[in-house]
Amino acid sequence: MDVFWFLLLTLLFLLRLQDAHANEVIVVTRAVGSSVTFYPRIPHKDGGVWSFNNDPIISVSYGDPPSITFLDAKYRARFTFRENGTALTISQLCLEDTGTYSEKASGVRATFILQVYRELPEPAVSCEVQNCSGSRCHYALHCATPGSGFGNVSYTWSVGHQLWQEGPEVLLDEFPSDEPPQPLTCRAENPVSSRNVTLASPAELCAGSQSSSWVGITAAALVGAAVLSVVLFYIIYCKCKEAGAEDMTVYAKVGPYQQINTTNNVPKTVPTKGVETSKTIYFTVQAVAQTDDEKMGNVMLEGQEQKSIYSSIN
């Protein structure tokens, strides 16, 4: 009787353990370019179906070798099976492989959550603020990793071998000392990698940053001065051109027998009797400065009958 109850309890325990494994969700983290293998802990009999984000992608019939049917051809190059088709391997991982993979076999489902990240490059430290007064200098430094696809990146600062501060930014005070400053290190870490960069002195970093800033400001000032000079030259040139344009055009109407032939060896054209023709000749008259006597004569002529601007030529 005791043996019966022992066997019954053992069977119930195994069934509960199997059910726990079937409902288990496993999270796996990998780097871009690496590989991953999923081992579903479920009973394998005839075969199963793999899904990616709930979309069926592969059908497997277990055996040696297994029979594989790809429902989507794009998975054929990098998806392989081992252990009679019960284990799935994905090679040359990329960011697009991130998602949920699951196999359903014998009515039981095993689920894997794959997270793919890029490995971190060396972080870069920039000087945000430098304020020196008296014998004391204040620095604000910022640490960052250029690019994307790294996931959650954490930053820590250390002076020498001692942890100083967490976070991408750090505030430092530096005092004059006969001893050389201890090196300052920024460490960046994501789920698949960690990189760090070490500075000999914040003063050297900020001095270089300030020099680069002044170079940019100076270049911008020179460009602005050149543009302003061109604009001023253009304005002055236009004003001078307008001031020198003192010529005006006078229109004179010439009668039928008042045209002058200035072409050699060409007979004059005699107008038809009884038909009156006219042409317009354009004269350019330039203003001439008048003397005092001429100005006085013009004043005396005021009130007299004005002559027409059209003149006759005999």
**Tally of CA atoms within 13 A in the half-sphere of 171 that contains its CB:** 2
Distance of CA 12 to the CA centre of its chain: 61
Q: Convert the pLDDT of each residue in 3-28 to its tens digit.
A: 544 455 555 544 454 554 456 799 99
Q: Note the pLDDT of residue 119.
A: 97
Q: Convert the pLDDT of each residue in 57-80 to its tens digit.
A: 999 999 989 999 999 999 999 999
Q: Note the pLDDT of residue 248.
A: 46
Fold exhibited by the domain 124-207: Immunoglobulin-like (2.60.40)
Structure-token pair, residue 32: 């871009």
Q: Convert the pLDDT of each residue in 216-274 to its tens digit.
A: 444 444 555 565 666 666 666 666 555 555 444 444 444 444 444 444 444 444 444 55
In CATH, which superfamily holds the domain spanning 21-117? Immunoglobulins (2.60.40.10)
Q: Note the pLDDT of residue 176.
A: 65
The residue among 208 and 1 whose pLDDT is bigger is: 208
Confidence of residue 208 (pLDDT cuts 50, 70, 90): low
- 195 has a pLDDT exceeding 70: yes
Q: What are phi and psi of 146, to 5 degrees?
A: -70, 140
- Per-domain residue ranges of the chain: 21-117, 124-207, 247-300
Coil, strand or helix at 149: coil
Percentage of residues in the chain with pLDDT exceeding 70?
A: 57
Residue 310 CA to residue 255 CA, distance in Å, equals 11
Q: Which letter does DSSP use for residue 5 in this model?
A: H
Q: Note the pLDDT of residue 42.
A: 85
Residue 182 CA to residue 16 CA, distance in Å, equals 58
Q: Note the pLDDT of residue 28.
A: 96
The residue among 233 and 159 whose pLDDT is bigger is: 159
